[in-house]
Amino acid sequence: MTHPQASSKKHDPKGGNCTHTAWVKNGRVFLSNDDDGYYQQDFKNREELQAFVDHLWQIADEAWPKQSDDLLERLRNAYQCCKSCGTTYGVYSVGCSSSRIGKCDVCDAQTWVTETRDYAYLITGIRRVETARKSAG
């Protein structure tokens, strides 16, 4: 399928000319893309629009998790972590740790995790990061 009037204009996804526009017509809110005449979405009421916006926020939470990106915060607040983060930031201390599949609180990986207690609460990593920051000013 080609655009009837835009056959000479090549679509450039990096061109930045795919801006969404919204307007009101016949008591509905329309959403469209100025680069694609075939894409148009309309909302009959606030509930429909809210559902659409909620969906956007849901995707946004996936893309940008509402967690601190600060490593120090993460290390301090971590309840469980993966083996890799545990050995990087902590010292393995006990032999009776219970591993389970879960999310690493430090690197977000979905893998085998244990409580940070098993790695001395990542205190060596926390001290190291604190020291590095202090010397960096």
Question: What b/e readout covers 45-55, taking b as 16+ CB neighbours within 10 angstroms?
Answer: eeeebeeeeee
Q: How far is the CB of 120 from Zn ion (least distance, A)?
A: 16
Reference 94, options 72, 120, 73, 112; nearest CA is: 120
Q: How far is the CB of 23 from Zn ion (least distance, A)?
A: 47
The residue among 72 and 109 lying less far from Zn ion, judged by its C-beta, is 109
Q: How far is the CB of 125 from Zn ion (least distance, A)?
A: 11
The residue among 85 and 126 lying less far from Zn ion, judged by its C-beta, is 85
The residue among 35 and 125 lying less far from Zn ion, judged by its C-beta, is 125
Asked if 107 touches Zn ion (CB under 5 A), the answer is: yes
The residue among 32 and 88 lying less far from Zn ion, judged by its C-beta, is 88
Reference 49, options 25, 28, 76; nearest CA is: 28
Number of residues in contact with Zn ion, rule: CB under 5 A?
6
Q: Tell me the one-letter amino acid at 95.
A: G
Reference 109, options 85, 90, 73; nearest CA is: 85
- Given the structure tokens 């960096």, which residue do they identify? 136
What is the footprint of Zn ion within residues 39-98 (CB under 5 A)? Answer: 82, 85
Containing 22, the helix (H) or strand (E) segment is strand 20-25
Piece of the chain touching Zn ion by CB under 5 A; list 25-33, 62-70, 99-107, 114-122 = 99-107
Note the residues at the interface with Zn ion (CB under 5 A).
82, 85, 104, 106-107, 109
